[in-house]
Amino acid sequence: MHGEHHHDLSLEFPELKRRIHDLKLTSPEFNELYAEYEALDKTIYRIEEEIETPSDTYTEELKKKRVLLKDRLYALLAAAGH
């Protein structure tokens, strides 16, 4: 699993980089979800790099939560574009 990368939203959605920046500054909801996403992503990265070694079940739960957070953040980004 070595070589995994962080799933930074700016890399996941490069076309929305400016909107991500703007919402981090103007939307408390987005900012809170973004901070939660970043912390979760960092934890998953540490697991994938074998810095931390929890159970596979726990790791999969974290990854599912990261996907759900990313979906919520994307929905906020999409709504801000209208």
Residue-level pLDDT at 52: 84
Distance CA 25, CA 22 (A): 5
State the pLDDT at residue 53.
87
| Model pLDDT, residue 27 | 96
pLDDT in tens, the chain (82 residues): 444 567 888 888 999 999 999 999 999 999 999 999 999 999 999 998 988 888 999 999 999 999 999 999 999 999 998 6
Report pLDDT for 4.
Answer: 54
Report d(CA 46, CA 50) in Å as an integer. 6
pTM of the model: 0.81
Question: Domain map of the chain by residue range?
Answer: 9-80
